[in-house]
Amino acid sequence: MKLILILFSFLFLLKASQEFDFHEKELETEESLSKLYERWRNHHSVSRASHEAIKRFNVFRHNVLHVHKTNKKNKPYKLKINRFADITHHEFRNSYAGSNIKHHRMLRGPKRGSGGFMYENVTGVPISVDWREKGAVTDVKNQQDCGSCWAFSTVAAVEGINKIRTNKLVSLSEQELVDCDNEENQGCAGGLMEPAFDFIKNNGGIKTEETYPYNPYDIGFCRAKNIEGETVTIDGHEHVPENDEEALLKAVAHQPVSVAIDAGSSDFQLYSEGVFTGECGTQLSHGVAIVGYGETENGIKYWIVRNSWGAEWGEGGYVRIERGISENEGRCGIAMEASYPIKFSSSSSAGTTTHESVAPDDVKDEL
């Protein structure tokens, strides 16, 4: 485990050394800001149409000044000029945090699932858990400008429980969900993790990413029946009791969990590192996965959240979000729409084991 932690630290430091940075003097004049914008565009390989040049520069100027002003404050998190730096808050929400989870929940009605919570009677959990260290999390992925975050959230949780039960980490196909799970979900127009879990169970499993790779758009038809290869199955899913971070903690101690958050704030758009305590509401707009939690950093407890905006965003594609706040719904509504897949068998076939709480051995030892 120490070797894995060293590797994580090395990769994070390597990433940080390659990030785009700026100096305060570059903010002093229009000319220096313009040169900074061109340097940023070259760094991120961003091309813009000539008729948008002034508009995009003005947006960039606003965002870079916001980053500079925020980072001078004594906050437990920092912002950066990432690849979202020349798009407006409204554009960002529409393209990257526009899955509108709350809207789809209203359309679907009450939560279904199995009706149980298998971790209800857990009486203790480890001080910290990181499923990346346990090999249950694949590399960070990138949904690009498709509102398919719900598929990435679903897949991350299924990849996790499949590794826990079979000891095999398999990267699974978000594109199969985008193309084929269209009875209630709407591809790049958004969706919910709950019907995606139902789809995987009822469909007899989900293909691997290798056999059904991702494209950042709706293909318009399902190709799964024409693709041969490995599938990963689940036995169903359960919901974490709503607005209960303690229950959510019990679930995450046993497996990665799909959650929805309000990810539309400017600070979230430009997040770089640290524990996010920024302003955000409960208008759930984005599906992500909690893959662990930590006890404290600067006295703040946090969730380890895997995003789907690529490894250049945040802490290598992750964000640590404050946990244990007084509001029942959690920071950014993280405890409002949490669910996880059930898998009992140690093979890819769906199991029929009696419904009970089963923890991996290294977690059992600490309960």
Please say if 82 is a catalytic residue.
Answer: no
Report the candidate in 102, 42, 92 with the shortest Cα–Cα distance to residue 62: 92
* CA 117 vs CA 70, 89, 194, 278: distances in Å: 40, 37, 15, 30
Token output for 111: 């939560």
286 is catalytic: yes
Q: Which of 106, 26, 93 is nearest to 61 (CA)?
A: 26
DSSP for 185-236, written as a single string: --GGG---HHHHHHHHHHTT-EEBTTTS---SS--SS--GGG--S-EE---E
Instruction: Give the alpha-carbon dihedral of 146, 149, 261, 274, to 10 degrees.
Output: -90
Hey, which residues does 305 pair with through a beta bridge? 290, 319
The dihedral over CA atoms of 326, 327, 333, 338, expressed in degrees to the nearest 10, equals 80
Report the residue count for the chain: 367
Residue 273, classed as helix, strand or coil, is: strand
Q: 149, 180, 188, 280: which is the annotated catalytic residue? A: 149
Cβ-count burial of 268 within 10 angstroms (0-12 exposed, 13-18 middle, 19+ buried)?
buried
Chain-centroid distance of CA 366 in Å reads 26
d(CA 133, CA 5): 7
Neighbours of 142 (CB within 10 A): 17
Catalytic residue list contains 62:
no
* Partners of 293 in beta bridges: 129, 303
Known catalytic residues are 149, 286, 307
